[in-house]
Amino acid sequence: MFDMKTLLIATIVGTVLQLAMVIAGHFDPFVANKVFMFGGMGVSALAGLLCGRSASGYGGAALAGAVAGGVCALIGIAVSVLLGDTQAMILAFGTLSSAVTGVIGGLIGRAIMGTRAAAA
């Protein structure tokens, strides 16, 4: 299905990137106003892609991508809410949308690795 070690690493990488963006946004209004939404989803897609590369199938890639993308977004958004930079309602919506982009990233990662495996 998917590798737990890869899931953990992808989640940590995504969380570090999310927190870096949140901290930057706390001090720079441009980041908070223009980068949070798409930047956060992009980070979650990247976390999903990292998971999808090692998944044994598309289902595992989608599941691992959703978990990695959703968890790193949940942590980042929660910190942003605690800092007073984001409304609490964004916690649910942002986490869900980031989990979806994590799925997309996971599927892309699996497709890339599937293409490479077929070419080898």
Mean pLDDT of 100-120: 84
Q: Where are the domains of the chain?
A: 4-119
Ramachandran category for residue 22: left, alpha or beta (phi over 0 → left; psi -120 to 50 → alpha): alpha
9 to 23, 85, 93, 112, 115: CA distances (angstroms):
21, 27, 24, 19, 23
- How far apart CA 43 and CA 57 sit, in angstroms, is 22
**pLDDT tens by residue, 1-29:** 889 999 999 999 999 999 999 999 999 99
pLDDT band at 115 (very low <50, low <70, confident <90, very high): low
pTM of the prediction? 0.92
CA distance 40 to 17: 9
Give 17-76 pLDDT, tens digit per residue. Answer: 999 999 999 999 999 999 999 999 999 999 999 999 999 899 999 999 999 999 999 999
